[in-house]
Amino acid sequence: MLKIKPVLIIAAFMLATLLNPAMGQDLENSKFFQAVWGKTSFYNNEEDDVYLKFVGRYHGQAWKVDADQGSADGYENRRQIMGFQANVHSQWKFAVQMYIGDSGDPFYDGMYELMLGWKSKDQNTDIVIGRLDYLFTGLERSTSSKKISTLERSMLANQLMPGEAVGVHFNHKAAGYSYHLGIFAGDIDDEFSEFSSGHAISTGFSVEVPLLFEKGTVYVDYLFNNGFAANNAFAPYEHILTTYYKTSTGNASLDLSLSWADGVGDVSDVQGATILFNYDLKKHLLLDTDLLQLNFRFHLASGDNAYALSGQRRYEHEIEPVLTGKNYKSLYAGASYKLYSNYLKIMAGAEWAKLGKSPTGGNAYKGVTYSLAIRTYW
């Protein structure tokens, strides 16, 4: 049975609070949310242009898997992160954030981010250095988990892309184009890096090309990993090349992506395609700040052998810890109710998937994952 009680309790509490008639005018003028999120700032000096605030996020989700190979369900504190951030002179940023263990045990469960960033006065050039959330390669991995429109990124994005990495990254944008370059240590531990296991290089560019709708941008990203055996920060692929197109008009957005990766040693080459479509169905459904959005994704991936692909860790591996196959396909359909943009939202979705041509010849996995989540960040 889908364990939705924790999510529903939180969601019901928020809605009851937000819809309380006593809030009246504050709700109409969006002052309530501004006041709540404004409490995260604990030092604001406009004269010196120095701002300090608490930052973090909570993502909790109930899930259920119903597959030919079995069923499972549960509730996960998907992401619990907290820390603080300093902004100075609109150009400098320092942030430190840590993971909180599931159910708070342990409270400190490793470093999430420890970075120093600089932006030019025109805000078109930025450099970041330190332990970074890796948001530099590919359609889905270049979007923070705070803002992704599906419960999880696609299977191949999760298989190819790192979580955090230690290094330095440069980005520049101008009218109609942008480019970026980064170099990262090949190893990572709970806090930082020993800089002892090779390196990775990330680069890419984008060009505005309105092909399908009013707005459109083509992106090309490349990630090189020199393949040291002790490299644990990056997946075992020497070359990853991905190109994607993001376009939007009115209430709709459409993203198309192609990816290819060259495996290190005996690791199979893999390739995949993703179509992501979002549609803003209704604004001001209950509040003057809310939005009901529909979300869809179609994903295909393949490799050279029956061990090429591993399936979604969340939550297909709850059925069978070791899942491998030669080809994978999935279809996701869901909805996001954004009470206050991505700062506070409730998400629900179902993803059908099939991981075929397993080492035994049949399907390693075929089933549906259902999820209901609450997500907030500050």
Q: Which contiguous run of DSSP H or E holds residue 25?
A: helix 24-28
- What is the C-alpha to C-alpha distance for residues 66 and 315, in angstroms, rounded to an integer? 10
Residue predicted with more confidence, 253 or 20: 253
- What is the C-alpha to C-alpha distance for residues 255 and 171, in angstroms, rounded to an integer? 22
| Three-class SS of 195-223 | CCCCEEEEEEEEEECCCCCCEEEEEEEEE
pLDDT digits (tens, 9 = 90+) for 65-89: 999 999 999 999 999 999 999 999 9
Q: Above 80 in pLDDT, residue 35?
A: yes
Q: Please, what's the b/e burial string for 123-134 (b: 16 or more CB within 10 A of its CB; e: otherwise)?
A: eeebebbbbbbb
Q: Which tokens is 165 given? A: 């990495």
CATH of the domain at 225: 2.40.160.10
- What is the C-alpha to C-alpha distance for residues 352 and 342, in angstroms, rounded to an integer? 25
pLDDT digits (tens, 9 = 90+) for 220-246: 999 999 977 779 999 999 999 999 999
Taking the CB of residue 271, how many other CB atoms lie within 10 A of it? 16
C-alpha 368 chain-centroid distance: 21
DSSP assignment letter at 225? E
Q: Which tokens is 343 given? A: 């700062």
Q: Which tokens is 81 given? A: 């992160």
308 by Cβ neighbours in 10 Å (0-12 / 13-18 / 19+) ranks as buried
Q: What is the tally of structural domains in the chain?
A: 1
Which residue range(s) make up the domain with 223?
5-19+27-377
Angle at 315 (CA atoms; ends 312, 320), nearest 5 degrees:
85
Q: Which tokens is 223 given? A: 């990630």
Confidence category of residue 105, pLDDT binned at 50, 70, 90:
confident
Q: Would you say the pTM of this structure is higher than 0.85?
A: yes
Torsion of CA 207, 211, 215, 218, to 10 degrees: -30
Q: Above 70 in pLDDT, residue 20?
A: no
pLDDT digits (tens, 9 = 90+) for 164-191: 999 999 999 999 999 999 999 999 999 9
Taking the CB of residue 324, how many other CB atoms lie within 10 A of it? 20
Cβ 238 vs Cβ 267: under 8 Å: no
